[in-house]
Amino acid sequence: MPVRPHTGLEIDGFTLGEKLHTGGFATIWEVTHPDQDLHMVMKVPTILDGDDGPTIVGFEVEQMIMPRLSGPHVPKVIGIGGFDVMPYIVTEKIEGGSFLAVFQQAPLPLSDVIEIGARMVAAVADLHRQHVIHLDLKPENFLQRKTGEMVLVDYGLSRHDQLPDLLAEEFTIPMGTYPFIAPEQYLRCRDDPRSDLFALGAMLYALATGRNPWGTPQRLRGVRKRLWRDPEPPRAIRPEIPEWLQEIILRALSVDPMRRYQTAAQLAFDLAHPQQVTLTARALKTRRDGWLQVWDRWRVMRKLRRFDAPVSVAAQLASVPIIVVAVDLSPEGERLAEVLRAAVKRMLTIEPDARIACVNVIKTARIGIDQGTDDQGNNLHVMRLVQLKAWAEGIELPDHRLTYTVLEGPDPGLAIIDYATANHVDHIMMGARGYSTTRRYLGSVSAKVVAEARCSVTVIRLPEERAAA
C-alpha cells in the first residue's frame, strides 16, 4: 500500500511538519532533515485511486527537469523520492511567497509594473538558457527571494528540449492555465519558448490594467478565440500607460510567434531601454480591431493546425542574439573604431537577426561622480551619444535593432561587464589598443572583459598590431 503524507511521517531521513498548501495536484509540506540546515519544503503529488495519469506523468517530468536546473531563479533540489514508496521532491523553501497576491492588487503603479515585469522576464530568460520551456507561467508560479530574484516553480507541464517529452507522448489535449496559454499551445505545440513570452505579455497586461487580456475562460474552447480576436488595447483601459509599454505588451501577445519578441532577453532589453523602443501602429491603438479584420483572421486561423516552431530552445536563442559593441570614441581610437565597425558588419552576415547595442564608457574618478562637461562646457554624455549614433550609421541596420547607451564608472571594463549581465547579452565585441608596459602590468579593459564576462567576447585589433603579435 502506498504511503500517504502526514505530519510526523519520516521518509528517507526527512520528517514532515506542517502542511503549507493544498493544490489541485499536490500538497506542500514543511520538512526537516538532520543533515540539512536549510528551510525546506516537500512537494507530494495527490494520487488518488482513480485516473491520475496527468498528475503522475507531470510529477515525473518535474523529477527529471528540476535537478538539472541551477541558479537563483530556480529552487535548489535537496532530495527526490520514487513512486515505489511515496513520490516527492524536497527543495529549499523560498520565503517570499507567490506573486498571486500582488496580481490581485492590480492595476499597479506603472513603475512597479516595469520593475516586477523586468524581474519576471529575467527569470524566464535564465530558464530558457537552461533548455527549459515552462509552459505554465502564471502569478502563483513566481516566488521571490529575500534578495529580490524571482524564482520559478511548478515544472509539471514543462518541456526540456534535451529530454523526452512524456506529456506529449502520453496525452493529446492542450495543457496550461487558460488566461495565459499561448495560441500555439492550444494547437498542441509544446516546443516553442515564445509560448512563455506570450504568458509574460498576458501578465504584464494584467499588472498594468487589472484585467486579463482575454478574461478568465474556464474551458479550453474559450482559449480558441485568441487565434483571431485581439485584446482591448491597454491604453483604452488605462490612458496613462505609455505608448512604449503598450507596444511591448501587444508585441508579446502577438498570435503568430514570429511577430512576438523572439527571446526573453529581447523583451528584457526593451523594458530596460524604454526610450529606444520602436513604436508601431499597435502602440497607438485605442480600440480593438473591427469586425472585418477579425472576420478575415478567423477565416485563416480556423484552418490553421500549427505554427512553425524552432528546432530547440538553444537554436531559438542563438538565432536572435543581443550583441554589445563597446566603442572607443577617443581621437586615438578612431582607426580602431572603423575596424570594429567592419567586424560588426561581418558578424551580421553570420547573425543576420542580431540586435546591436552600442555602448561607450565615460571613465569617472569614482562611483557616483558625474563627469559632467568637457573643458568647453559641452555635456559629455550627450556628445558621446551623438558620436555613438554617428559611428553606428555605417552598420546600416534599422532603428529597432540598434540601441545606444553611454555608461559611466571608474572601471570601464566592469561597466561593460555589468551592462552585459543586466541585459542578458550573448556576445561582446570590442577593440583593444596596442601593447604597452602600462597595460602589461596594470591590465587592459579588454582583458578584464574577456576574463570576467559571462558571455563570449570578440576582441578586435588593428591589422598591423595583429601582424606584429
Task: Tell me the pLDDT band of 221, cut-offs 50, 70 and 90.
Answer: confident
- The pLDDT score that the predictor gives to residue 331 is 87
d(CA 324, CA 150): 25
pLDDT digits (tens, 9 = 90+) for 164-185: 888 887 776 778 899 999 999 9
- The pLDDT score that the predictor gives to residue 166 is 86
Of 274, 265, 273, 267, the C-alpha closest to 405 is: 273
Q: Where in the chain is the domain with CATH 1.10.510.10?
A: 100-316
Could you tell me which residues come within 8 angstroms of residue 164 by beta carbon, excluding any fewer than 6 positions away? none
pLDDT at 1 over 60: no
Total number of residues shown for the chain: 469
d(CA 439, CA 459): 15
The secondary structure element, H or E, covering residue 110 is helix 110-129
* Amino acid type, 136: D
Report the alpha-carbon angle 391-394-397, nearest 5: 105
Q: What is the mean pLDDT of residues 46-56?
A: 70
- The pLDDT score that the predictor gives to residue 441 is 41
Given a contact cutoff of 8 angstroms between Cβ atoms, the answer to whether 178 and 185 are in contact is no
pLDDT at 195 over 90: yes
Which of these ranges, 88-102, 136-150, 299-313, 334-348, has the smallest mean pLDDT? 299-313
- CATH level 2 (architecture), domain 100-316: Orthogonal Bundle (1.10)
Q: Which triple of cell numbers denotes residue 109?
A: 503603479
pLDDT digits (tens, 9 = 90+) for 398-418: 888 889 999 999 999 999 999
Q: What is the mean pLDDT of residues 22-26?
A: 85
- The pLDDT score that the predictor gives to residue 348 is 93
- The pLDDT score that the predictor gives to residue 468 is 54
Of 179, 101, 109, the C-alpha closest to 140 is: 101
Q: What is the mean pLDDT of residues 365-381?
A: 63
Quick count: other Cβ atoms within 10 Å of Cβ 61?
21
Task: Tell me the pLDDT band of 373, cut-offs 50, 70 and 90.
Answer: low
Report the alpha-carbon angle 303-305-309, nearest 5: 140
- The pLDDT score that the predictor gives to residue 444 is 84
Q: What is the mean pLDDT of residues 408-431?
A: 92
- The pLDDT score that the predictor gives to residue 28 is 95
- The pLDDT score that the predictor gives to residue 302 is 87
- The pLDDT score that the predictor gives to residue 62 is 95
Q: What is the mean pLDDT of residues 114-125?
A: 96
Q: Which fold has domain 10-92?
A: Phosphorylase Kinase; domain 1 (3.30.200)
Of 346, 370, 344, 338, the C-alpha closest to 357 is: 344
d(CA 64, CA 45): 15
pLDDT at 31 over 80: yes
How far separated are the first and last CA of the chain, in Å rounded? 73
Task: Tell me the pLDDT band of 374, cut-offs 50, 70 and 90.
Answer: low
Q: Where in the chain is the domain with CATH 3.40.50.620?
A: 321-468
**Cα-Cα-Cα-Cα dihedral sign, residues 55, 56, 57, 62:** positive
pLDDT at 320 over 50: yes
DSSP state of 32: E
pTM of the shown model? 0.89
Chosen CATH of 321-468 out of 1.10.510.10, 3.40.50.300, 3.40.50.620, 3.20.20.10? 3.40.50.620
Which of these ranges, 46-55, 65-74, 84-93, has the smallest mean pLDDT? 46-55
Which range, 111-120, 398-407, 422-431, has the best average confidence (pLDDT)?
A: 111-120
Residue listed under C-alpha cell 506523468? 57
pLDDT digits (tens, 9 = 90+) for 235-259: 999 999 999 999 999 999 999 999 9
Mean pLDDT taken over the chain: 89
- The pLDDT score that the predictor gives to residue 380 is 85
pLDDT-above-70 percentage for the chain: 92
Q: What is the mean pLDDT of residues 209-218?
A: 94
Q: What is the mean pLDDT of residues 292-311?
A: 90
Q: Where in the chain is the domain with CATH 3.30.200.20?
A: 10-92
